[in-house]
Each structure stands twice: as structure tokens, then as C-alpha cells.
Amino acid sequence: MAIDSARGAPDVHELDDPELIQLLTPEGERVEHPDYPLELTPDEVRGLYRDLVIVRRIDREAVALTRQGELGLWASLLGQEAAQIGSGRALGEHDMAFPTYREHGVAWCRDVDPLKLLGLFRGVNNGGWDPAEHNFHLYTIVIGSQTLHATGYAMGVQRDGVLGTPNAGATIAYFGDGATSQGDVNESFVFASVFNAPIVFFCQNNQWAISEPLEKQSRIPLYRRAQGYGFPGLRVDGNDVFACLAVTRKALEAARTGQGPTLIEAYTYRMGAHTTTDDPTRYRLKAEEEAWKLKDPIERVKAYLVRNDLADNAFFEEIEAEAKQVAADLRKGCLAMPDPGPMDMFAHVYAEAHPLMTEEQEQFAAYLASFKEVSS
Amino acid sequence: MSEVKQFNLPDVGEGLTEAEIVKWHVAPGDQVEINQTIVEIETAKAIVELPCPYEGVVADLLVPEGQTVDVGTPIIAVSVSGGDAAPAAAAPAAEAPKQEAVPAPDEPGMVQPDEPKRQPVLVGYGVKPGATKRRPRKRPAAPAAPAPAPQPNGRPQPVDKRVLAKPPVRKMAKDLGVDLSTIVGTGPAGSITRDDVQAAASRQQAPAAAPQAPAPVLRGEEERIPVRGVRRSTATAMVSSAFTAPHVTEWLQVDMTATMDAVRRLREMPDFAGLKVSPLLLVAKALLVAVRRHPMINSSWVGEGDSAEIVVKPYVNLGIAAATPRGLLVPNIKDAHAKPLPELARALNELVDTARAGKASPADLTGGTITITNIGVFGVDAGTPILTPGEAAILAVGQVRDMPWVHEGELAVRKVATLALSFDHRIIDGELGSKVLRDVGDMLEDPLHMLVWS
């Protein structure tokens, strides 16, 4: 066998990896997995379908608003809905999530008003929601750094001594395949491992780190990296909302009960661009997108609902109408978002008053007031 | 109660300052919905489809296709009925004069178009200055349908010259060789129907036989054109070539179906992003491979009588005959034999563009070793090309068209083209010429041969 000196031996990435955990096939057929039994009521399945459809619609509207100049940027979650809704719906009341800037679906599960997600991208605020109120941290733009924050938070929960009690909360850190190449993520793995932190590392492997393919991130499947740090890692079909739900539930429960961290690699695909400033046709083949289209996360749930007579046309139309209304409200709310005043920049720098900043704040207020005198 | 709202070109990519209007998807008078795709624009980073922010009727397209405009310039006016489609803040006042809304230079937060540095961005890569000209992808059809020029008064042109016809009708017209723009449609909204096309085709077929009343013939004077420039040098070259080198021309019909498939697949590869990949590229590659197998075809007859020599070139400067406004030019690609396929594609694109623009340098036009003439672009099948002086062979490629063909023992419709190879019979015998032509044909019938032989 010829070995290329730059690439080395052929890689071992295969979607049909025997380790891939799947509970719902792309055709909408339910399959059982011995380690991940999952019982869902028809209402719960319909609820997941509603979540998936609505977050996709929210995402589409935000992309359109960006194209119309109403937002400065948007990172589309298209194709990753199941990974986000599955893991997001697994979260309990006390669990805390640390997102990247793409976790719009998880935000939806944490009851963050979609409109609040837009503030940062419209440039009117630096976050827009109270992380403590929703147990959903602010979006983090820097790649991978939230895994450190999450690990620290998890170690804090551990020190609160609540693990194993009903008040126990696990921490979940979201990141992408590209982030696994960052030092921050690797440091998080080390700390989480040696301190047995109650954390779930949820990696949405969407195959592309902007324009860099997975083969430039790792020679082994990403989930196997966990083994090197000393905690379990597993790969789940990231387009299968059932499997993502079951796998994340189990990992969160392990964290809450003091069994330490888990790495979940949700194997999925970014169907859109990295962000609205990116053009994927410059680096990837159409055929690849077409192949992933057949594994759409929403279509398989719809097929499952129809196949098992759990939903009729009226239901699907109702969800469609609701999604449309959410999008219309989002558009209206976005266009009406007020611009912040110049003094607002001081509002969230420190939790409490700080003498130096108070002084600067007063100076700046006086400076602004000087214009008023001149103009009057 | 309707109101006209304008949509200003947004910055769709973090600090971009301008974009080119590539293609309009709507025309004045069209009904549009919120988020309906109205236009494709090309920025320094990407081709982007813009969704419409308003619901209503398109009143005017304010920027023609092909024009690059600054961010903030109004590009479309939409007549919005009712008042709640979008808040007033999102659009300038309806009465605003239709002039380019260049942001005031001292307005805070506005991007200065001539900012000299790479702009910092939030996520991903920044924009390099002057990088807006990325690649001309998805060229807007052909220059045959010129984009409507902006009217001085800013009003839409009354008639969009675009022809209305359904795709099957267009296909039929194409197959019958009928130019749709010459037909007056009788279908709904003036669209062209099958019957219209058939009628036009039958008129075309019997133009002379038609006993129409002879129109009064207006006769001007004979035109006398001085023979200068390219025409003169072409004439000299043709005469010298035709009367010094004894020409032989051989023909071969080839099934190009596999080549056309290969071309389509190459187009999708990122290596060819932004490049025009045509069947000519693979014909050129096939000829280069054939030269490698039969170097003598790439040679030149030098001197006369006893001192005559045959010079076999160890390199290939591949000439491409190009019809330009100035006349026939044969610029050549230097060291074409050493170029990887994407490089060859780029060279082909640039070569012909440069020649057409009248910018071919003398170096581009001399030193060729073998030539391809793509007469297929004129819609003909074959010819007997005359050698470029000093070269031993020239390959003419006819049009690729659907033809009945025996494929795997059955009659099938295949993409067939005719190749014609003329060669200097002083140097090249019928055997060698035939082998070269056969090799080129084999490679085009099954491009895998190129791998085997290169």
C-alpha cells in the first residue's frame, strides 16, 4: 500500500462506523439499542417534531434578515437541529449549558426568546438574556473557550456538594469539530478528567471547521479522543433526535451522580454555510450535501409519525403555521429592536459599582451633555 | 394605498463595502413576497442570494446586472400595499430621489469604501482590500441579452426584452435552431408557444421557396475594405502555409458522451472553482497526451532543399484559434504540456479573453507548435483547417450534438462530434496522422485513456 507522506495512512472516518448509536433511521424506522432504551409518548415525539420545525424556521428567518442587512452575521444551524433539540430536551432544571454561537436550538429548549438571540447579531447588545435565569450561558464567539468556563462551572457545582442529590445539576459544553483542535478544549478535557467534573462535552461534528474538513482535525474518530484523557466517549447519529436525547440524558445523569465527564460526538452535517459570510461551494462538493440531505433530521421524525399514525396532515399544517407565526414575530421584533444608548456600555461591565468605572461613566455623561448645551 | 420602498444593498459579509449585481430573479411588475429571492450578488467572499424584505410589486430595478455598487446603494424599489410590511426605519422615505445613497463620510459606523486595511470581523476570515473581483461564476447568460441600462429618469424600461417561453418550448426552439427573440408569441401574456416555434422553423427552412412578394431591394454600393492588420497577416499566413506545406486532412467522428460527463463532473470540483470548463479543455488535454505519444506531430519543417530539417519540439505551445473583433488570432499557451488540468483551464480562459479584448501580446501570438481550432462554436461539424505557418498539425473540433449512434450494440442518442486533423504531409505520413487522430478520438470517447497514456 502506498502511503502519502503528508496524509499518512488512510483515515478511518466512516459514517457507518459500528460505534454509531442510532435509534431512528433516516427512513423513520425505530431501532433499539441495548444501552439506550427510550420510551417516548406520542405527545413527546410530536413535541420534538415541533421543536425541530420551529428552530429551523427561526434559523431561516435570521439568515434572511442577515441577507437584508438587518443582522450583521448569523451562524445557521441548518442540518444540526436534531443534535441541538435532542441534547437540549435532555437537560434538567438544574443543568447548565454553555453554547457556542450556533446553539439556537438549545436556546429554544432553555426557553430563551428567539428574539433575544438576535441582539448580539444586530449589534444592539452583548448577549441579551440572563444566563442564570435560563441556565443557558451567553453565546461564545471565541472557538472552544466556553469548554473551560463550563469545566470550571462544573467543578464549582461539584464543590457545592450537591452531586447525587435531587439538586444536582450537570454542565454541558457545546462545541464543534474544529474546536477539538484548540488548546482550550484539550485543557478542559484534562481538568474535567482528573477532577472528575460533572460535565458532558457535546461535540457537534458537522464535518467542516469553516473550510477545513474533518480529516484536517483528527486521524481518529473524535469520540475516541476521550479515551486518551481517561473518560468515556461515544458517537451518536447527530441527525437522530431520539438517539441524541437518550445518549445525552444518560451522560447527564452520570455527571449528576458523580460519575464524571462524558464526550458525546454527535455526527451530523452543516447543511448551510459556516456563517452568512461564508460560501461553502468554494471548498466542498455538491454531491456531499446531496448525500446528507437524505439523512435530514426532520424528515425522519415526520416519517416516523406518519408511519405509526401518530400525526395527521392537520397536525403538520398546524406546526407549519405556528412556525410561520414565530418567524413573522421574530422579524417584526427584530426590526423594532431599539438601538442602545451610549451610556448602556457601562451597564454590564461589573456586577457591582466600581469606583474607577463610575468615574469614567460620569465623565462620559458630562461629555455627552456638553453637546446638548451647544445645540440648544 | 401603496407606498414605494427601496431596498439598499446590505453588507452581507461583515465589513464588505461593495458587491456586483450578478442576476436579477425578478422584473418590474412582478409580485414579490417577503424572503423571496430577488437577486444574486457577488461579494469578495461569496455569491449570495438576497431575499426580499418587502411584500408587493416590483416598481423598478435600480442597478443593472453586471454593475458593482457600494453597500447602501438602493438596488430595487418595491411598491408595497398597506402600511405594515416593514417599519419605516428599514427603508428610506419613498419620495427619496433615486440617486446613489453614498453614506456620508463622517457618519459614524459607516464603512469607508477605501479603507486600506483588512477589516476585522467577528467570525471567520476578514476581507482583503480590493478582493471584490473574485471569480466570474455563473455568468449571466450571454452578452446576447444585455442587462437593461439604468434609465436616466430612473424609470423601468417599458418592455423587458426577455422572451417568455416554457422550458420545453425553449428546448424545441434550440433543437430546431430557432432564435426565440425573433418570434412574436401568441400564447398567454405574449409567451411563445410550440406552434409559434414550429411556424418559425418552417419559415426558416424554406426561405427561398416561399413565394413571398419580393420586397423592394435596397442596394447600396459595394463595400471596399482595405486589407490591413490582422486580415492582412492572416491572408499572408494562409497563402504561405497552403502553398508550401502539402496539406492532408483526415476526419473522425467520435462519441463525446463520456467527455461531456467528465466535463460536468470537473465543473463541480473545487479545483475548477471559477474556471470555465468546456469540452475544449479535454480536447486540448487529449491532443497534448497524443503529442506525448507521437512527438513527431509536434514538429516543424525548417529550411529548403538540402539544408531542410525537421525540428521536433520537446515542448508544446498550444495554439488556440480565436475569432476576435479584429479577425482570426492564434494565441498560444506556453508549455501547455507541463500544465496540470486546472492550470490549463485557467490558461485557456485567459488566453481567449485576452485575445478577444485585443490585448494579446506578440509573445502570445508567436512560438506556437500545434493548434486547435474550435469551429464547433460556430455551429458547424467539420472543415479542412489550414496549418498555422511553421506547424505540422492543426486539429479542428466540430460542434458536439445529439446524434443517432451505435452504442454497446444498440442504437442510442449520443453526443457526437467530428474531429478533423490537417497535417504537413512532408513530415507526417498518413499512418502517423491517423494514429494521432485515433488516439485523440479514443481519449474523448473514454477519458480514462488520458490517464493511461499521460
Q: What percent of chain A is helix, strand and coil (3-state, nearest 5)?
A: 50, 10, 40
Tell if the CB–CB gap between B123 and A275 is shorter than 8 Å. yes
Whether A129 shows a pLDDT value over 90: the answer reads: yes
Closest by Cβ to B86, choosing from A275, A276, A335:
A335
A42 min Cα distance to partner chain B (Å): 34
In a domain, A36, yes or no: no
Is the domain of A250 the same as that of A117?
yes
Is the domain of B154 the same as that of B172?
no
- Model pLDDT, residue A175: 98
Is the domain of A371 the same as that of A281?
no
| Longest pairwise C-alpha distance within chain A | 83
- Model pLDDT, residue A87: 98
Whether B101 shows a pLDDT value over 60: the answer reads: no
B318 min Cα distance to partner chain A (Å): 29
Is the domain of A70 the same as that of A117?
yes
Strand, coil or helix: B395: strand
Q: Which CATH number belongs to the domain containing residue A228 in this structure?
A: 3.40.50.970
Catalytic annotation, residues of A: 270, 274, 283
Least confident piece of the model among A20-29, B71-80, B227-236, B278-287? B227-236
CA A237, distance to chain mean position in Å, is 15
In a domain, A130, yes or no: yes
Q: What is the pLDDT of residues B299-342, one digit of tens each?
A: 999 888 888 899 999 999 999 988 877 778 888 999 999 999 99
Strand, coil or helix: B436: helix
- Model pLDDT, residue B81: 78
Q: What is the pLDDT of residues B136-171, one digit of tens each?
A: 455 444 444 444 444 444 444 444 457 788 888 888
Radius of gyration of chain A (CA): 22
Q: What percent of chain B is helix, strand and coil (3-state, nearest 5)?
A: 30, 25, 45
- Model pLDDT, residue B26: 94
> What single-letter DSSP state applies at residue B333?
E
- Model pLDDT, residue A3: 52
Q: What is the pLDDT of residues B195-205, one digit of tens each?
A: 888 888 887 76
Q: How confident is residue B243, by pLDDT bands cut at 50, 70 and 90?
A: confident
- In chain A, which residues have their Cβ closer than 8 Å to the Cβ of B121? 277
C-alpha cell at position B415: 453526443
- Model pLDDT, residue A374: 61
Q: How confident is residue B236, by pLDDT bands cut at 50, 70 and 90?
A: confident
In a domain, A25, yes or no: no
- pLDDT (mean) for A181-202: 97
Phi, psi of A24, deg, nearest 5: -140, 120
> Quick check: A28 and A303 in contact, CB under 8 A?
yes
Rounded to the nearest 5 degrees, what angle is found at the Cα of A82, between the Cα atoms of A80 and A88? Answer: 105
**Beta-carbon-side half-sphere exposure of residue A222 (alpha carbons within 13 Å):** 32
Tell if the CB–CB gap between A70 and B90 is shorter than 8 Å. yes
Residues B318, B334: Cα–Cα separation, whole Å: 7
Mutate to test the interface with A, among B32, B34, B35 (most CBs of A within 10 A): B35
Whether A61 shows a pLDDT value over 80: the answer reads: yes
- What is the percent of chain B where pLDDT is above 70? 78
In a domain, B235, yes or no: yes
Is the domain of B174 the same as that of B290?
no
Residues A251, A244: Cα–Cα separation, whole Å: 11
Q: Which residues pair with A213 in a beta bridge?
A: A208
Domain closes at, from B126, B159, B192? B159
Look up the pTM and report it. 0.60
Strands A199-205 and A171-176: parallel
Is the domain of A294 the same as that of A355?
no
Is the domain of B179 the same as that of B149?
no
Count of domains for chain B:
3
Count of domains for chain A:
2
Closest by Cβ to B14, choosing from A274, A277, A331:
A277
Residues B385, B423: Cα–Cα separation, whole Å: 9
H-helix or E-strand containing A43? helix A42-67
Whether A1 shows a pLDDT value over 80: the answer reads: no
Structural domain that includes position A120: 42-340
Is the domain of B403 the same as that of B261?
yes
Is the domain of A250 the same as that of A346?
no
Tell if the CB–CB gap between A335 and B35 is shorter than 8 Å. no
Per the document, the length of chain A is 376
- Model pLDDT, residue A353: 87
- In chain B, which residues have their Cβ closer than 8 Å to the Cβ of A286? 268
Whether B111 shows a pLDDT value over 90: the answer reads: no
Least confident piece of the model among A20-29, A125-134, A323-332, A343-352? A343-352
- pLDDT (mean) for A279-291: 88
Q: What is the pLDDT of residues A198-242, one digit of tens each?
A: 999 999 999 999 999 998 889 999 999 999 999 999 999 999 999
Structural domain that includes position B154: 1-159
Write b or e for each residue in B168-197: b if 16 or more Cβ atoms lie within 10 A of its Cβ, otherwise e: ebeebbeeeebebeebebeeeeeebbeebb
Q: How confident is residue A269, by pLDDT bands cut at 50, 70 and 90?
A: very high
- Model pLDDT, residue B148: 45
Tell if the CB–CB gap between B13 and A64 is shorter than 8 Å. no
- pLDDT (mean) for B114-137: 49
Strands B401-407 and B370-374: unpaired
Highest mean pLDDT among A95-109, B40-54, B128-142, B289-303: A95-109
Is the domain of A239 the same as that of A370?
no
Which residue of chain B comes nearest to A283, CA vs CA?
A: B270
Q: Is B8 on the interface with A (CB under 8 A)?
A: yes
Residues B251, A153: Cα–Cα separation, whole Å: 78
* Ramachandran assignment for A111, one of left (phi > 0), alpha (psi -120 to 50 degrees), beta (any other): left
Q: Respond yes or no on whether ipTM tops 0.90.
A: no
Tell if the CB–CB gap between A67 and B47 is shorter than 8 Å. no
Which residue of chain B comes nearest to A212, CA vs CA?
A: B124
C-alpha cell at position B451: 490517464
Tell if the CB–CB gap between A210 and B49 is shorter than 8 Å. no
Radius of gyration of chain B (CA): 27
- Model pLDDT, residue B172: 84
Q: Is A277 on the interface with B (CB under 8 A)?
A: yes
Is the domain of B86 the same as that of B3?
yes
Q: Is B50 on the interface with A (CB under 8 A)?
A: yes
Closest by Cβ to B45, choosing from A70, A101, A277:
A277
B10 min Cα distance to partner chain A (Å): 4
Whether A14 shows a pLDDT value over 60: the answer reads: no
In a domain, A259, yes or no: yes
Mutate to test the interface with A, among B123, B272, B275 (most CBs of A within 10 A): B123
Strands B56-61 and B31-32: antiparallel
Which residue of chain B comes nearest to A121, CA vs CA?
A: B122
- Model pLDDT, residue B218: 66
Q: Name the B residues in 187-246 with CB < 8 Å from any A CB.
A: none
> Quick check: A211 and A172 in contact, CB under 8 A?
no
- Model pLDDT, residue B93: 38
Q: Which residues pair with B370 in a beta bridge?
A: B318
The residues near B350 (Cβ < 8 Å, ≥ 6 apart) are none
Domain closes at, from B159, B182, B213? B159
Whether B210 shows a pLDDT value over 90: the answer reads: no
- pLDDT (mean) for A303-327: 96
Q: Which CATH number belongs to the domain containing residue B32 in this structure?
A: 2.40.50.100
Closest by Cβ to B123, choosing from A64, A73, A279:
A73
Is the domain of B8 the same as that of B55?
yes
Chain A, chain B: beta-carbon pairs less than 8 Å apart? 79
Is the domain of B198 the same as that of B109?
no
The overall average pLDDT reported for chain B is 80
> Quick check: A178 and A212 in contact, CB under 8 A?
yes
Is the domain of A188 the same as that of A298?
yes
B178 vs A176: which has the higher pLDDT: A176
Whether B362 shows a pLDDT value over 90: the answer reads: no
Tell if the CB–CB gap between A279 and B86 is shorter than 8 Å. no
> Quick check: B405 and B412 in contact, CB under 8 A?
yes
Tell if the CB–CB gap between A210 and B124 is shorter than 8 Å. yes
In a domain, B432, yes or no: yes
Q: Choose, from B25, B407, B425, B449, the residue flagged as catalytic.
A: B425
C-alpha cell at position A274: 459556516
Phi, psi of A359, deg, nearest 5: -60, -45
Strand, coil or helix: B315: coil
Q: Is B380 on the interface with A (CB under 8 A)?
A: no
C-alpha cell at position B87: 417599519
Whether B23 shows a pLDDT value over 80: the answer reads: yes
Rounded to the nearest 5 degrees, what angle is found at the Cα of A18, between the Cα atoms of A16 and A21? Answer: 90
In a domain, B220, yes or no: no
Q: Name the B residues in 115-134 with CB < 8 Å from any A CB.
A: 121-125
C-alpha cell at position A261: 465527564
Q: How confident is residue B115, by pLDDT bands cut at 50, 70 and 90?
A: very low
Residues B6, B69: Cα–Cα separation, whole Å: 15
Is the domain of B144 the same as that of B193?
no
Which residue of chain B comes nearest to A339, CA vs CA?
A: B89
Residues B278, B377: Cα–Cα separation, whole Å: 11
- Model pLDDT, residue B90: 39
In a domain, B380, yes or no: yes
Q: Is A331 on the interface with B (CB under 8 A)?
A: yes
Residues A95, A323: Cα–Cα separation, whole Å: 27
Is the domain of A250 the same as that of A332?
yes
Which residue of chain A comes nearest to B268, CA vs CA?
A: A285
- Model pLDDT, residue B356: 80
In a domain, B224, yes or no: no
- What is the percent of chain B where pLDDT is above 90? 43
